[in-house]
Structure 1
Amino acid sequence: MDWFQVVFLALLQGLTEFLPISSSAHLILPSQLFGWVDQGLAFDVGVHIGSLTAVMIYFRQDIWRMIVAWTSSLVGRGSSTDSRLAWYVIWATLPAVVAGFIFESAVDHYGRSILVIAGATLVFGALLWWADFSRTEVRPLEKITLKDVIIIGLAQAVALIPGTSRSGITITAGLMLGLNRQSAARFSFLLSIPVILGAGLLKGLELMKTGTADEWTMVLSGTVLAAISAYACIHLFLKWLDKVGMLPFVIYRMLLGFVLLGVYFII
């Protein structure tokens, strides 16, 4: 990679990881459309660490309360809203873990085509619009139930398909279940922590086995840029969410999906 690609891909990862527009699709597309070489395993690990750092710093107070409450629940000191939320994040992560072990190789083989990305972008973009348009918004995050968590977790497992968007599909599920926008988004972001951590650890282990010839200055720069852009993205998304809703992201997904179909069938 050259420095332009480093900056572009790091910012792209940070901005798209938490928006409902699919970061995996956007990281696959440059190589598909521009013929760029793969960014390399070390860079991939680096930008995931950047995204993870951003979400953990942003939600540091929530995370600390959840850890303390969850630890207390383990030693029989009772249950609280924070301990239940911590357990819910764990339960909602399990379907994605199971699906990853079963379907990862198939997704890597069949799911990286422009046609698959375009189809998932359009279908799940339309579903996001419907969920936001028909939302009831009757419950805050404190009222989330185990049934809600299981459904959101199953929805997250579908995000293995590039173009689906992990944040998009989990927010969609949350809205359909009656969570308000802020609650659906915040749970989606909290749910991203174990997923990104797990993906980063797996890629890190693979990196240790294979070694790398990557330029570490570029990797570190990508990590920092991804962290800064991801933090800004989370902050602005939550700030503007109630004002703009999901429609801008739905419109973007529709445009992107049809452009990709044009690329696939015409070029």
Structure 2
Amino acid sequence: MSWLEAAVIGALQGVAELFPVSSLGHSILLPAVIGGSWAQDLDVSSPESPYLAFIVGLHVATALALVIYFWRDWVRIVRGLLTSIVRREVADADQRLAWLLVLGTIPVGISGLLLEHTFRTVLSKPVPTAVFLLLNGLILLGAEHLRRRADTRRADTRGPVPAAGGRLAQPPAAEGSHRVDDEHGSPDGGGYVDERTSGPVSDARLAAQPVGRAVLIAAAQIAALAPGISRSGITMAAGLRAGLSHEDAARFSFLLATPVIAAAGLLKLGDLAGPLGDGIHGQILLGSVLSGVGAYLSVRFLTRYFATRSLRPFGWYCVLAGAVCLIWFAVR
């Protein structure tokens, strides 16, 4: 593995892991499109691939970046879990959210242990990955379409509120907030997002979910075992379908992803010290640093982006990228 390959894939992993575009899919498709030594050096489908050890390091760095960004939230959540166990109660939002995250992690954790090797060695090839990436885009666009229809039905049910002169009334914006319209991700077709308190407030809303619904949203991560299906994207799509706002769906997906990504990396951390990591420890360190920085910047951007915007740009990107890759592999 060259230093250039390590730098490019490391930076790509950090960004694509949290953007709803599939980091694994891009880590497979980019080397395949470039071809040559890239396709040989960066083959994750091989059962004993050094590239797999490299990916493990990137996952640990990504999880660390998420913990650093959400450290205050994780302190609250872990404290809630510990107090819940000690006191044998689920009395507040932090305790309830902690248990929702625990229960939500179980299905994908079991599925990953049982199916990860099979999915990686059988499906982690360029053509299937391009198909899944295209499907990922369609899922994102479909989730946005269904959400918009639901918002429209709710608006029709409530009916317009006429103001003087026949125009629809618009409530004044609160200080420190900004307007959000239904096309760009409002949970109710027109509301406000206060960035100063959005995290704890969002956690309180997430904690109020029914247990079954939260677990089903979290279980959508299982689909991300297929290369090209985005973990954050599929979780957000499931959250939107279940009625979460874009902001809450994004936050829930990032919180759910942290223990899953960390566990996936830590379980295979021994590969880095074994034969698979021989000769590429420097490249792993470089890629991990770039991946961690990229992940931190990505989550910082996306938590603000999804407060006011939708999944549509990412959906169209995945459809276009998947289709272009399929055409490229067919004609090359």
Cα deviation for residue 42 of structure 1 reads: 3.9
The answer for the alignment partner of 2:130 in structure 1 is 118
What does 1:199-214 correspond to in 2, within 5 Å? 199-210=264-275, 212-214=277-279
| Aligned mate of 1:240, from 298, 302, 305 | 305
Q: 1:127 and 2:139 equivalent?
A: yes
Q: 1:48 and 2:113 equivalent?
A: no
Provide the secondary structure at the position in 1 that maps to 2:131. Answer: helix
What does 1:1-267 correspond to in 2, within 5 Å? 1-35=1-35, 36=38, 37-38=41-42, 40-76=51-87, 78-79=89-90, 80-135=92-147, 136=151, 137=187, 140-210=205-275, 212-267=277-332
Provide the secondary structure at the position in 1 that maps to 2:109. Answer: helix
- Distance 1:160-1:41 versus aligned 2 partners, 3 A rule: closer
How big is the alpha-carbon RMSD for the aligned residues of Structure 1 and Structure 2? 1.9
Q: Which runs of 5+ in 1 are unaligned?
A: none
Deviations 1:134-166 (CA, angstroms, capped at 9, x unpaired): 324369424322111221122111110001111
Q: Which runs of 5+ in 2 are unaligned?
A: 43-49, 152-186, 189-201
Cα deviation for residue 77 of structure 1 reads: 5.6
Question: For structure 1, which segment, 218-227 or 156-165, has the greater mean C-alpha deviation from structure 2 after superposition?
Answer: 218-227
Between Structure 1 and Structure 2, how many residues are aligned?
267
Q: Which amino acid aligns with 1:125?
A: G
Distance in 2 between residues matched to 1:211 and 1:162, nearest whole Å: 21
Cα deviation for residue 41 of structure 1 reads: 4.0
Provide the secondary structure at the position in 2 that maps to 1:242. Answer: coil
Cα deviation for residue 4 of structure 1 reads: 1.9
Deviations 1:182-203 (CA, angstroms, capped at 9, x unpaired): 1100110011111111111122
Question: For structure 1, which segment, 72-81 or 154-163, has the greater mean C-alpha deviation from structure 2 after superposition?
Answer: 72-81
- Distance 1:24-1:142 versus aligned 2 partners, 3 A rule: same
Whether contact under 8 Å (1:14, 1:51) holds in the other structure is yes
The answer for the alignment partner of 2:171 in structure 1 is none
Whether contact under 8 Å (1:41, 1:203) holds in the other structure is no
Cα deviation for residue 220 of structure 1 reads: 1.7
Larger Rg belongs to: 2
Deviations 1:98-120 (CA, angstroms, capped at 9, x unpaired): 21222223212321122221222
What is the TM-score normalised by the length of structure 1? 0.93
Cα deviation for residue 133 of structure 1 reads: 3.0
Q: Which has the higher helix share?
A: 1
What is the TM-score normalised by the length of structure 2? 0.76
Deviations 1:14-57 (CA, angstroms, capped at 9, x unpaired): 00010110011011123322231026344222211211111101
Distance in 1 between residues matched to 2:284 and 2:23, nearest whole Å: 18
Deviations 1:41-88 (CA, angstroms, capped at 9, x unpaired): 442222112111111011101100000111000012632111111111
Point out 4+ residue stretches in structure 1 off by more than 4 angstroms.
none
- Distance 1:265-1:6 versus aligned 2 partners, 3 A rule: same
Q: Which amino acid aligns with 1:63?
A: W
Provide the secondary structure at the position in 2 that maps to 1:86. Answer: helix
The answer for the alignment partner of 2:173 in structure 1 is none
Distance in 1 between residues matched to 2:10 and 2:329, nearest whole Å: 26
- Distance 1:114-1:105 versus aligned 2 partners, 3 A rule: same
Q: Which amino acid aligns with 1:5?
A: E
Distance in 1 between residues matched to 2:88 and 2:118, nearest whole Å: 44
Q: Which amino acid aligns with 2:33?
A: L
The answer for the alignment partner of 2:166 in structure 1 is none
Distance in 1 between residues matched to 2:83 and 2:18, nearest whole Å: 30
- Distance 1:193-1:3 versus aligned 2 partners, 3 A rule: same
Question: For structure 1, which segment, 218-227 or 48-57, has the greater mean C-alpha deviation from structure 2 after superposition?
Answer: 218-227
Distance in 2 between residues matched to 1:204 and 1:51, nearest whole Å: 14
